[in-house]
């Protein structure tokens, strides 16, 4: 499989595999237990150039393709899906959004900090009325004569402790025109509050929590793209990030599979290796087949994305199928560890917990099923059919 990889992609995958094995694997369980990623790991990731992997060379990045990004995400996720989830936000979602929406000056000013790891970003869209239900969102930017003012609150912002946050918000200009756009909020901005982060089931290596914006002043430097019409024009960044997210699920299942294969080969039960028990052998074969199918679907979609030839809702099919399958695989693999799979100290069940978080983050499976259904039934790969949007 993946026999089409070129030498650069193979070398990158090998580099990420070595990095994950040497630097992440030994601390991955501690990251999960403490719910904290050591800053030294962020520094090492930056030294390897991974935060700049998907950013154009003219801004100091590597300019690699999405297949390379997915290969790296998979390898890191084999050791720590939680850290890989954090990495995709820094490697894909935030820098690509800035690259698409930003002015030349903003790109030159903001991107080097992400690449060096000195100015990490978070991406904040979700609100209490439903993350994908944008009509219900209340966070809003309005003009104040000089610049704009931002008010509102957000939920579930991962890496809310990052120096800067890309905040998706409703907008309304002085003429009453309404839109949806993206602004940059910094930790030190007056009116910004980061509330205590959540204690969560999975993705425990990253902080996820609510944010509040009270009359924050935004000048032109803080506005990315057109605040009225720019809201969804960074969609390629969201789509690329969604596929990198799928790669994390593939790596998550593969990481636990590799550990389990060793376990069932080494563990003796009833005087023979566990792997000789027929149901165990079947489960391993089934898990292998499902992971291989997920990987094939992922890279088929990645290549279609890069060729500009994705079928409508293809990324949504990818997201639901891969994330849910990876979770199912992890549930069965945890079972093969018996009591050891339930003990947090073994670092086995964190894969299953991270796999579940993967099914909700980047849009829950049902949201993606709704989009797929709308494509099938109404020819619209969006959450709400256009006739309903018009009525709303």
Ligand X SMILES: Cc1cc2nc3c(=O)[nH]c(=O)nc-3n(C[C@H](O)[C@H](O)[C@H](O)COP(=O)(O)OP(=O)(O)OC[C@H]3O[C@@H](n4cnc5c(N)ncnc54)[C@H](O)[C@@H]3O)c2cc1C
Does position 363 interact with ligand X (CB under 6 A)? The reply is yes
CA atoms within 13 Å, Cβ hemisphere of 129: 9
By the rule CB under 6 A, 134 interacts with ligand X: no
**Total site size for ligand X, rule CB under 6 A:** 24
Selected range binding ligand X among 130-138, 181-189, 224-232, 374-382, rule: CB under 6 A: 130-138
**Which span sits near ligand X by CB under 6 A: 263-271, 281-289, 295-303, 355-363?**
355-363
8 Å CB contact between 355 and 326: yes
**Distance from C-alpha of 122 to C-alpha of 193, rounded to nearest angstrom:** 14
Question: CB 199 → ligand X: shortest distance, Å?
Answer: 12
Site for ligand X in 205-234 (CB under 6 A): 208
Facing residues of 152 across strands? 213
Scan residues 180-209 and list those touching ligand X (CB under 6 A). 203, 208
Bridge partners of 212, per DSSP, are 153, 193
Beta-carbon contacts of residue 28 (< 8 Å; ≥ 6 apart): 79, 80, 82, 83, 205, 347, 350
Q: Is 125 in the site for ligand X (CB under 6 A)?
A: yes
- Applying CB under 6 A, the span of 63-71, 181-189, 319-327, 363-371 interacting with ligand X comes to 363-371
Instruction: Give the residue, chosen from 56, 132, 134, 261, that forms a contact with ligand X under the rule CB under 6 A.
Output: 132
Q: How far apart are CA 175 and CA 159, in angstroms?
A: 35
Which residues lie closer than 8 Å to 168 by C-beta, 6 or more apart? 123, 124, 125, 137, 139, 180, 181, 182, 231
The strand pairing partners of 153, in sequence order, are: 212
- CA 87/CA 275 separation, integer angstroms: 35
As measured in angstroms, the least distance from the Cβ of 126 to ligand X is 4
Is residue 366 within the footprint of ligand X (CB under 6 A)? yes
User: Which run of H or of E encompasses 105?
Assistant: helix 104-116
Q: Least Å distance between CB 361 and ligand X?
A: 4
Per rule CB under 6 A, is residue 357 in the interface with ligand X?
A: yes
Distance CA 1, CA 10 (A): 13
278 vs 391 by CB, closer to ligand X = 391
Cα gap 239→66, rounded to integer Å: 11
Residue 382 as a binder of ligand X (CB under 6 A): the answer is: no
Rule CB under 6 A: is residue 359 a binding residue for ligand X? no
Is position 124 an interface residue for ligand X (rule: CB under 6 A)? Answer: yes
Residue closer to ligand X, measured from CB, 209 or 280: 209
Q: Which of 29, 153, 346, 364 binds ligand X (CB under 6 A)?
A: 364
Residues contributing to the site for ligand X (CB under 6 A): 122-126, 130-133, 156-158, 203, 208, 357, 360-364, 366-367, 370, 383
């Amino acid at each position: 499989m993946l026999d089409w990889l070129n030498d650069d992609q193979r070398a990158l995958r090998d580099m990420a595999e070595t990095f994950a094995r040497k630097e992440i694997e030994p601390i991955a369980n501690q990251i999960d237990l403490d719910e904290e990623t050591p800053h030294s790991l962020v520094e090492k990731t930056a030294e390897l150039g991974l935060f700049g992997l998907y950013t154009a060379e003219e801004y100091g990045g590597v300019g690699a393709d999405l297949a390379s990004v997915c290969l790296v995400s998979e390898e890191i996720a084999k050791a720590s899906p939680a850290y890989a989830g954090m990495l995709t936000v820094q490697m894909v979602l935030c820098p690509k959004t800035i690259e698409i929406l930003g002015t030349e000056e903003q790109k030159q000013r903001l991107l080097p900090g992400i690449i060096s790891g000195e100015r990490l970003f978070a991406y904040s869209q979700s609100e209490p009325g439903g993350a994908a239900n944008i009509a219900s969102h209340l966070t809003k930017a309005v003009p104040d004569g000089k610049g704009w003012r931002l008010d509102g609150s957000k939920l579930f912002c991962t890496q809310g402790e990052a120096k800067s946050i890309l905040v998706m918000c409703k907008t309304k200009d002085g003429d009453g025109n309404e839109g949806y756009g993206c602004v940059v909020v910094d930790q030190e901005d007056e009116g910004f509050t980061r509330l205590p982060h959540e204690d969560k089931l999975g993705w425990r290596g990253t902080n996820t929590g609510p944010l509040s914006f009270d009359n924050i002043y935004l000048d032109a430097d803080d506005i990315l793209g057109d605040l009225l019409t720019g809201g969804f024009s960074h969609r390629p960044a969201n789509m690329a990030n969604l596929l990198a997210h799928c790669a994390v699920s593939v790596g998550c299942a593969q990481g636990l599979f590799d550990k389990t294969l060793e376990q069932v080969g080494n563990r003796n039960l009833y005087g023979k290796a566990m792997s000789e028990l027929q149901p165990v052998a079947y489960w391993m074969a089934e898990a292998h087949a499902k992971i291989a199918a997920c990987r094939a679907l992922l890279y088929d979609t990645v290549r279609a994305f890069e060729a500009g030839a994705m079928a409508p809702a293809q990324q949504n099919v990818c997201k639901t199928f891969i994330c849910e399958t990876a979770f199912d695989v992890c549930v069965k693999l945890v079972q093969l560890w018996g009591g050891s799979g339930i003990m947090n100290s073994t670092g086995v069940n964190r894969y299953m917990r991270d796999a579940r978080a993967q099914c909700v983050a980047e849009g829950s499976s049902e949201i993606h099923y709704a989009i797929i259904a709308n494509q099938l039934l109404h020819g619209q790969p969006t959450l709400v059919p256009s006739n309903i949007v018009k009525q709303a």
